[in-house]
């Protein structure tokens, strides 16, 4: 849902300076990081093995919400890293496993996810969890420039861990309340809030809500 557009609202001069020059956006879809960036998507080949299709280097390589779809993320990112010239940057963005998957794998909101991600923790509930810090340490001559959790707009009072405890009545009631609100402008905020708290929701569907990790890595000469 245009995650790059949402993310760009948070960027500082650092990000804006990095995403200049010659770049490639892996898995960009209809929401590329810059207007001049080279697109790489399904029609261009398999991003799991991108070096089979792209044999050049870039000032920046960008991938938003793509790595979690790779069959072997650790191998895929090593291939992406080969596209970064010395002095260039790799920026990748992945969902945070606790904020997005919320204790369930396969992911209830996107069953195509092959892995979940956390910045760094000793133990995870996910059988396919990857620590971003460990992942970056595998990149030869890589230096972290910026790594942080982006949770702007995320309502942690709605955060659930594990199975959805809402029932058919709850979901029907929420739909009825939504219909009443649209047609009459009458709302029942307390009751709606109570039902919403029982339901596990994908908050990233909201226009300005993020539940992700952003990492920028620079390729050094040694």
Full DSSP string of 16-55 = HHHS-SSEEEET-TT--SSTTSEEE-GGG--GGGGGGT--
Q: How far apart are CA 170 and CA 168, in angstroms?
A: 5
Instruction: Say yes or no to pLDDT of 18 above 90.
Output: yes
Q: How far apart are CA 48 and CA 71, in angstroms?
A: 7
pLDDT in tens, 184-222: 766 656 655 655 566 788 999 998 999 999 999 999 997
Mean per-residue pLDDT of the chain: 90
Helix (H/G/I), strand (E/B), else coil: 222: coil
Taking residues 19-29, report their average pLDDT: 96
Least trusted range by pLDDT, from 39-53, 73-87, 154-168:
154-168
160 Cα distance to chain centroid = 19
pLDDT in tens, 95-147: 999 999 999 999 999 999 999 999 999 999 999 999 999 999 999 999 999 99
Structural domains in the chain? 3-154+203-219 (3.40.50.150), 165-198 (no CATH)
Q: What integer pLDDT is reported at residue 137 of this predicted model?
A: 96
Q: What integer pLDDT is reported at residue 135 of this predicted model?
A: 98
Query: Could you tell me if 167 and 195 are in contact, meaning their C-beta atoms sit under 8 angstroms apart?
Result: no
Residue 9: which pLDDT band, with cuts at 50, 70 and 90? very high
For 87: left if phi > 0, alpha if psi spans -120 to 50, otherwise beta; the answer is left
Higher pLDDT, residue 216 or 162:
216
* Alpha carbon separation from 28 to 32, 85, 94 (Å, rounded): 5, 20, 13
Instruction: Say yes or no to pLDDT of 166 above 70.
Output: no
- Omega before 106 within 30 of 0, i.e. cis: yes
- Comparing CA positions, the residue from 57, 45, 217 lying closest to residue 141 is 217
Instruction: Say yes or no to pLDDT of 175 above 70.
Output: no
Backbone phi and psi for residue 4, each to the nearest 5 degrees, phi listed first? -65, -45
């Amino acid at each position: 849902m245009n995650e790059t557009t949402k993310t760009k609202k948070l960027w500082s001069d650092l990000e804006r300076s990095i995403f200049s020059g010659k770049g490639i956006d892996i898995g960009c879809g209809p929401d590329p990081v810059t207007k001049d960036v080279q697109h790489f998507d399904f029609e261009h080949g398999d991003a799991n093995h991108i070096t089979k299709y792209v044999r050049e280097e870039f000032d920046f390589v960008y991938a938003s919400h793509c790595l979690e779809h790779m069959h072997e993320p650790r191998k895929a990112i090593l291939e992406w890293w080969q596209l970064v010239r010395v002095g260039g940057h790799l920026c990748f963005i992945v969902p945070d496993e606790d904020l997005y998957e919320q204790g369930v794998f396969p992911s209830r909101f996107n069953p195509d996810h092959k892995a979940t991600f956390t910045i760094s923790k000793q133990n995870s509930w996910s059988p396919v969890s990857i620590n971003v810090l460990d992942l970056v340490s595998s990149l030869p001559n890589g230096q972290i420039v910026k790594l942080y959790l982006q949770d702007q707009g995320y309502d942690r009072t709605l955060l659930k861990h594990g199975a959805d405890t809402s029932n058919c009545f709850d979901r029907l009631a929420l739909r009825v309340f939504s219909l009443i609100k649209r047609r009459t402008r009458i709302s029942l905020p307390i009751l709606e809030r109570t039902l919403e708290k029982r339901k596990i929701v994908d908050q990233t569907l909201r226009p300005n809500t993020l539940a992700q990790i952003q990492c920028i890595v620079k390729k050094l000469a040694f």
